[in-house]
Amino acid sequence: MEYTDLISSRYSVRAYKPEPVEDEKLHQVLEAARLAPTAANRQPFQLIVIHTQGRQAEINKIYRRPWFAQAPLLIAVCTIASQAWVRESDRFNARLIDAAIVADHLILAATNLGLGSCWVAAFNVEAARSVLALPAEVEPVIFTPLGYPADQPGPKLRKPLAELVRYEHW
Ligand SMILES: Cc1cc2nc3c(=O)[nH]c(=O)nc-3n(C[C@H](O)[C@H](O)[C@H](O)COP(=O)(O)O)c2cc1C
């Protein structure tokens, strides 16, 4: 898909068909995540691919919306703080920026392949840790279901550029 069409057509899909995601498409989505830039190229992330079939009740402990466990796949983007680049001047750790770029690559690649996704940050962290058996140093950042959309995009509600952009100074 042409880039402008791609970023315009992505939307938060909150209903999924049960049909499986082809292995080749999953591979392409994961490959797009792998190519994401990270600070100092530290790549301090891990992706967890979760097959939802038969695990819906458990997965809904992570996030209670029914559509969260409706797609055949769920992907968790996790980071490991100790592996991430840290800015010397104020000890800012770039792991969450890295994770967001990884997630965005993944989600846009999914859109390009006709797959639906939805950024989910409002999950229960303790439930995510328990269901995914995460070691203490692994931080879950973003989840997205991955599957074929069963809903339609709504209007894109965005602030106009005039409210978002300043030139030369604040
Ligand atoms: C960092 C982030 C976290 C989000 N968390 C959630 C969430 O927990 N649940 C949800 O339904 N949508 C979540 N969203 C989706 C946003 O609500 C959605 O992207 C926004 O309303 C714009 O709509 P669109 O994605 O359809 O363009 C999240 C989006 C982002 C970028």
Domain ranges of the chain: 3-164
Q: Which residues contact 84 (CB under 8 A, 6 or more apart)?
A: 38, 39, 42, 44, 93, 94, 95, 98
Q: What percent of the chain has pLDDT over 90?
A: 100
The CA distances from residue 85 to 49, 62, 102, in Å, are 25, 28, 15
Closest CA relative to residue 63, chosen from 146, 117, 148, 126 = 126
Per-residue pLDDT band at 44 (split at 50, 70, 90): very high
148 Cβ closer than 6 Å to some ligand 1 atom: no
How many whole angstroms separate alpha carbon 110 and alpha carbon 139?
23
How many whole angstroms separate alpha carbon 95 and alpha carbon 163?
28
Q: Which 8-state DSSP code applies to residue 94?
A: T
The CA-based angle 8-64-144, given to 5 degrees, is 35
What is the average pLDDT value for the chain, to the nearest integer?
98
118 Cβ closer than 6 Å to some ligand 1 atom: yes
Return the ligand 1 atom nearest residue 154 CA: 26
CATH of domain 3-164: 3.40.109.10
Mean pLDDT computed over 15-35 = 98
Mean pLDDT computed over 28-44 = 98
The tokens describing 8, both together, are: 């315009």
SS3 120: strand
Ligand 1 center to 89 CA (angstroms): 32
Mean pLDDT computed over 66-82 = 98
Per-residue pLDDT band at 15 (split at 50, 70, 90): very high
What's the length of the chain? 170
